[in-house]
Chains A and B, each alone.
Chain A
């Protein structure tokens, strides 16, 4: 405290009402200087982070704008930068995210529910809780290495959509679990007591009340987890994603029996960030434009997902209130 210039002290000798009042006003003025100073610092901090982001985005958009044409979305990668497109990459990103969501969301929600509603509060659950936090901090390339050993070689899933989807699901699990638990914790205990008092079982309390009331928060956290997974590159390169894919996964539906096919989960794939990485590492100037254009698309996908998260939160918040 001693190095902070002290505000003008209240003058104890000025005991007349007017003297006290002017002393008090001087005191308030000098304290308000710090108030204003902090406001300026805070705005500067905000501007730095926002301007950096906007600058980055504008730069990417300017560089890549001439490539963003319909053909860009409908062409496979090529040795000719003017013909190269992101068809296999964005389709790959979508199918990998589909597998990730299908595996990661139910597992994460179930684990979060168990920890909050079912697990006894003891040393073992404490240990598990701490380690879930730790898992969220594990570098993604380490997940990739583990997935290479487990999914690609041990389970023989190969360098497939399935391996990639599972790897990213593992990566998102801690985030989904944490989001689920935080959403569940916001539900007043009075809701649970009301249901229990009417003779509900633990599963009924969970499925009729806890889960529906916390769904907004859970979905928000989940979509944000997925929007982070969609930009992941390192773990997918580690499990051996190809950088040059000139074909699409097998269609899931066909006109011939058996009509439904799951062959696509075994297909090789690439995703947008990997395609981008591939182009960036080319020496030709023209490929840099392709990379910038792919970057703009990737950012739009991420922003769109965050938008969905915000929309979900608003929608559920207006439905559930107490």
Chain B
């Protein structure tokens, strides 16, 4: 319960800080609307010019686009602020403050802050998903399932980003590294089938973009069975376990070093 309280309190604080940038938030909304429109137009143009999208219909592909944009919202809203703060702490040597708190350090580092700037993408992605669902005639239950799967996918992405940051954090300021990871989310806005077999394999086994954006759509559309969700779960568990283990290792290394 305490974790929930901590979560709400710190989210509230950072949110209030962001909200003082009022004009900028409006600009961000406008820009995201434009971007999302751009993505839809791009999809349209590609299909029109002959790209087959691996056999997916335009409306179905829109689900995937919406998924990717929603995840980008989570990226901007959660991953970026927390992991860059983490990186800065390591750089300045102020990680100690976090480690001295009587709460799980990894939880604090990952959920200390939230950024309002993620909201436009979240809204745009959700909007796109709802629109595509309406066109496809998907029921409320399926839409809910889709969003739940997206949250799971988002968590997977975060865990992976955290893992990668851990590996690099003592060497590099990770801001651009995280940006690089978000690139894969953008790749995920097209159904995996649209890419050649090589990339498809890559997105299934190496960078699990397939599981993050295409699988939720496939499951909800009935293209694959619900068993595919287990694949997503497996990835989450693996990322969580590995991340936790690495984090402990890193802390031990950090604590034994001086200064």
Q: Do A and B come from the same complex?
A: no
